[in-house]
Amino acid sequence: MHLLVIDLWFILGKATLIACIIGLSFFVAMYTTLAERKVAGWLQDRHGPNRAGPFGIFQPLADGGKLFFKEEIIPLASNKFLFLLGPGLAMVTSLVTSTVIPWAAPVTTATGTFPVQVADVDMGILIVFSVVSVGVYGIMIGGWASNNKFSLIAAIRGASQMVSYELPMGLALIAVIFMTGSLKMSEIVSHQAEHGINFLYQPLGFIIFFICALAECNRTPFDLPEAENELNFGYHQEYSSMKLGFYLFAEYINMFVSAAVMATLYFGGYDIPFVNEASWGLESWIMSAISFGILMIKIAVILFVFIWIRWTIPRFRYDQLMNLGWKKLIPLALINMIISAAVMLWLKK
């Protein structure tokens, strides 16, 4: 009976954490759209949204409400099951990747230590990559099921782009694994707390990872699957109402999760850099809340860079995009991996 009660509390705690992470992802995705428009206005010397509420803070709610009340249209010539599956798959895969990210310092109570993480598994970072690779199907299925040639071409572009840039991203990550000796996200954070953030040792690896993250999220200058000047609206051309909203939300949730992964892998995650938090003598839950705030600040900075790049750099041609991935980033990532392995072997002698 005692074990049953413990299991119930464990399940309840995990379910609550999952609900909080999903809610956080939706909230951040909503207000990243507002931040994007505000930063675009700042860069272009204009106000941006400022009518819906003070400083336009209700604009995301207005946009979401508009999508909810738009007419649902399913093309007659489409494959209806796959047409509905595409945006759902894109949304699910974007949310699942957040399960292995440590969002804050563990909370210590009288009954034990509880990580603020849905799944602290040994192969954590590989789960992120495996789920991201499945996300390709959300784009591909949506473009193909629409029975629209423009949508299909955009989906093929998106799939080939994501597959191409996963390779240098994985190679850049191998160098981090060499240094930390673990695939476990919580251990990667702990290693940086002891030895310094990985960005100091892997600046080239981070730049490669960041560029690949831009391509994985279909962000400018890698937004060729949504190139309206040649493919109309892109792979979600035929979608409307909240089915379109799911695709758009998935893109912003992917941005948020990508920023969280980069903050965890290269900038110490929830750890406060160059500070010994243990000397503060604060309660465990207070330190956990502070560490969560630190992680969100790091994520916000990375999201700002995402947005800044979109409104600064023009879109590539598709041949330039593929050449960058295959002829530039993969060789650089291989060189970085070899040098990192050589240095680690030399230091162990």
Q: What is the 3-state secondary structure (H, E, C) of 67-119?
A: HHHCCCCCCCCCCHHHHHHHHHHHHHHHHHHHHHCCCEEEEEECCEEEEECCC
The b/e string for 195-231 (b: 16+ C-beta within 10 A; e otherwise) is eebbbebbeebbebbbbbbbbbbbbbbbbbbbbeeeb
Q: Taking Cα atoms as reference points, which of 94, 201, 183, 175 lies closest to residue 341?
A: 175
CA distances to 86, 174, 178, 346 from 349, rounded to whole Å, are: 52, 21, 15, 5
Give the 3-state secondary structure of residue 150.
helix
Phi, psi of 116 (to 5 degrees): -85, 70
pLDDT of residue 16: 83
Sites in the chain below the pLDDT cut of 70? 1-7, 9, 110-112, 227-231, 277-279, 349
Domain boundaries, the chain: 65-348
Query: What pLDDT does residue 151 have?
Result: 85
Tokens linked to 213: 């993250």
What's the pLDDT score for residue 230?
66
Evaluate the CA torsion angle 74, 76, 78, 80 in order and state its sign. positive
Task: Report the distance separating Cα 115 and Cα 289, nearest Å.
Answer: 12
Tell me the angle at which helices 2-43 and 59-69 cross, rounded to the nearest 10 degrees: 100
Name 205's Cβ contacts closer than 8 Å, sequence gap at least 6.
Answer: 172, 173, 175, 176, 198, 266, 333, 336, 340
Q: For 272, which DSSP code?
A: P
pLDDT of residue 241: 84
Going through the chain in order, the beta strands assigned E by DSSP cover 104-109, 112-116
Q: How far apart are CA 332 and CA 132, in angstroms?
A: 22
CA angle, residues 63, 64, 65, in degrees to nearest 5: 90
